[in-house]
Structure 1
Amino acid sequence: MKKVILSAFMLLGLAFSAQAQDISKNALGLRLGDNDGFGGEVSYQRGLGDNNRLELDLGWRNSNDVDAIKLAGLYQWVWNIDGGFNWYAGVGGGAGSWSYDVNGVSDSGAVLFAAGDVGIEYNFDFPLQLSLDVRPEIYFNSNDWREDNFGPDIALGIRYKFD
């Protein structure tokens, strides 16, 4: 029974690794999401191989009380679902700065964070990529401007692909 289960996992792994990937060498665009208010990020992806890439995002967050800017870097693995559909997962982190003003109380500081990333994307036949992902972030800072140190960032991405 153990041999059957092991063989099934090996065949599944072979199937995922044998599928052709549609990772562009470069992609530049926007990642629009929600984390402490409406947020937008300028997003750049750089293909590193047939099934992995680096994503860099420069973002800003603002709400009624909190303003923040951050730089995130993620290493992603990409798997083909069918045709232009891919799903991906990644890990990374980043740094940023924040300030808040709540009822006359102000503070500001810097933050480091660790992040994961899981999403789905579609690559069109022309140089356009659409994606939807969730990026859970865990913040490490001395002044806690949030009630907790966790932020789930859900976003829609639109990128122009080029070589």
Structure 2
Amino acid sequence: MKKLFLLSFALLGFAFASSGQTISENALGLRLGDSDGLGAEISYQRALGDNNRLELDFGWRDGNNYNAFKLTGLYQWVWVLDGSFNWYAGVGGGIASFDGKNVLDGESETALFAAGDIGIEYNFDIPLQLSLDFRPELGFGDFRDDLDFDIALGIRYQF
């Protein structure tokens, strides 16, 4: 009876362990979207557990009339849809800065924002991840005090 109990316990433990998902420890790439006028962002994901991670995105623009950057940090939860196909949702925020050279009398402005994130991703057998996400952002500042929506395609190398 004791052996049957131990065998049952081991089999149940193995079943629960094998059904858990694994997300990549690290992923680095690009998030290709509007990014509130900044375009593509450098994107980094770091796993914090079996089903959650931190995503950091950095976008910048250097033009003739202005310089701008935006840094976003998101805490995400990841759920398996089917095999290597996942969906995720997250919350976070960030900071954005605008430095006008010839416009706005050379003013510099900084704003904080809150962000949400929901998306789907596919992890290929090779270390490639493709994702599509929707990110609403609510800004708090002089030049960014509204609600913006951003849809982006993510292409990341997993390691």
Please give the per-residue CA displacement for 1:9-56, whole angstroms capped at 9, x wherever unaligned.
xxxxxxxxx953230000000001014335111111001111100001
* Matching of residues 42-81 of structure 1 within 5 Å: 42-60=42-60, 67-81=67-81
Counterpart residue identity of residue 138, structure 1: L
C-alpha distance in 1 between matches for 2:151 and 2:98: 20
Q: TM-score, normalised by structure 2?
A: 0.78
**SS state at 2:94 partner:** strand
Per the alignment, residue 114 of structure 2 pairs with: 114
Letter in 1 for 2:126: F
Identical amino acids, percent of aligned pairs? 66
Partner secondary structure for residue 36 of structure 1: helix
What's the secondary structure of 1:49's corresponding residue?
A: coil
CA contact 2:38–2:59 (8 Å) conserved in 1: no
Partner AA of 2:157 in structure 1: Y
Answering whether residue 130 of structure 2 is matched by residue 130 of structure 1, we say: yes
| 1:154 equivalent in alignment to 2:148 | no
Q: In structure 1, what is the Cα distance between the partners aligned to 2:35 and 2:42?
A: 15
Write 1 or 2 for the structure with the bigger share of strand. 1
1:3-14 to 2 correspondences below 5 Å: none
CA displacement 1:116-136 (0-9 Å, x = unmatched): 000000000110000000111
Total equivalences in the alignment: 141
* Distance apart, 1:149 and its partner CA: 1.1
Long gaps (5+) in structure 2:
1-17
Indicate the residue corresponding to 1:86 in structure 2: 86
Structure 1 residue runs of 4+, over 2 Å off? Answer: 35-38, 60-68, 99-102, 104-108
Does the CA-based 8 Å contact 2:28-2:158 persist in structure 1? yes
Which structure shows the higher helix fraction?
2
Q: Does the aligned pair in 1 maintain the 2:121–2:129 contact within 8 Å?
A: yes
Cα distance in 1 for residues equivalent to 2:101 and 2:138: 22
TM-score by length of 1: 0.77
Q: Is residue 36–residue 63 contact of structure 1 (8 Å, CA) maintained in 2?
A: no
